[in-house]
Amino acid sequence: MDVRNHYESRIGYFIHPKTGEPAVRPGIRRFSQWPQYVKRHMTAKADGNENNQRHFMTYCTGGIRCEKGARFLQENMGKRDSDTVCTLKGGIAAYLAWMDEEIRLGKKKPEDSLFRGKNYVFDARGAMGLTYGAGHPVSKCHICAEPSDRLSKCQSQGCHLVLVVCEHCEHTGPRCCQSCRAFDDLYASEKQEILPPRPICDCEKEREEQLWGPRPPKEPKQHALKTRSASNRAKVNDMNIQVKIIE
């Protein structure tokens, strides 16, 4: 199970050694959503035949988040004595370093790696893959659908959703969805310096609904304040104010 953010697992992930199926990759936007994901989705998977032995392995970039994720998974999914919950020591970074050394010594080939794509890192490098025999990108550009493992951000005002964007499309000011384009058009045409708080964009709303189900919309606080201010002004205008002049 991948405990990283959804944009990290887009460009690289582990596969099952026998079936080749990608690992479970929750669409969470930040690690703080992992406990909620476990409670909502993994506890349901934990129900079933008590005699079945279950195996869970978590992994992340460098081994820190997956240790915390494994502990929370173990404590909240109703673990039985026959179950196995483990984590990848050192994370993807340690695995790629080990695999590179094995390839260099001639003990393994690049295609023997169970990790596909690149490992997202939080520095100027962006993403790292195998040094020897790097594979093809496993993700596609959000704009043109060409194979790419480059990450960029939605250029819409106030969105900044991380996207997979190729080098060519990165210079075109990519937007994640039509709602972001529409908001930017409104922002460009609006003469006021302060716009009302922007709503969540359509693609982010769809991802959130897939994770947690539909949620009722919330009225922005600033809009509520403006409504109360207008109401107060109406009350003032309706007041019968008499002015007495004293000579």
Active site positions, annotated = 60
Structure tokens at 50: 């008590």
Compute the distance between CA of residue 3 and CA of residue 1 in angstroms, rounded to an integer. 6
Buried/exposed 18-49: b ≥16 CB within 10 Å, e otherwise: eeeeebbbbbbbebebbeebbeeebeeebeee
Instruction: Say whether 220 sits in a helix, a strand or coil.
Output: coil
Element (H, E) at 115: strand 115-117
Residue with tokens 């169970």: 114
Compute the distance between CA of residue 111 and CA of residue 127 in angstroms, rounded to an integer. 19
Compute the distance between CA of residue 206 and CA of residue 27 in angstroms, rounded to an integer. 11
Count Cα neighbours of 124 within 13 Å in the Cβ-side half-sphere. Answer: 0
Question: Widest CA span of the chain, in angstroms?
Answer: 106
Which distant-in-sequence residues (6+ apart) come within 8 Å of 42 by Cβ? 73, 76, 77
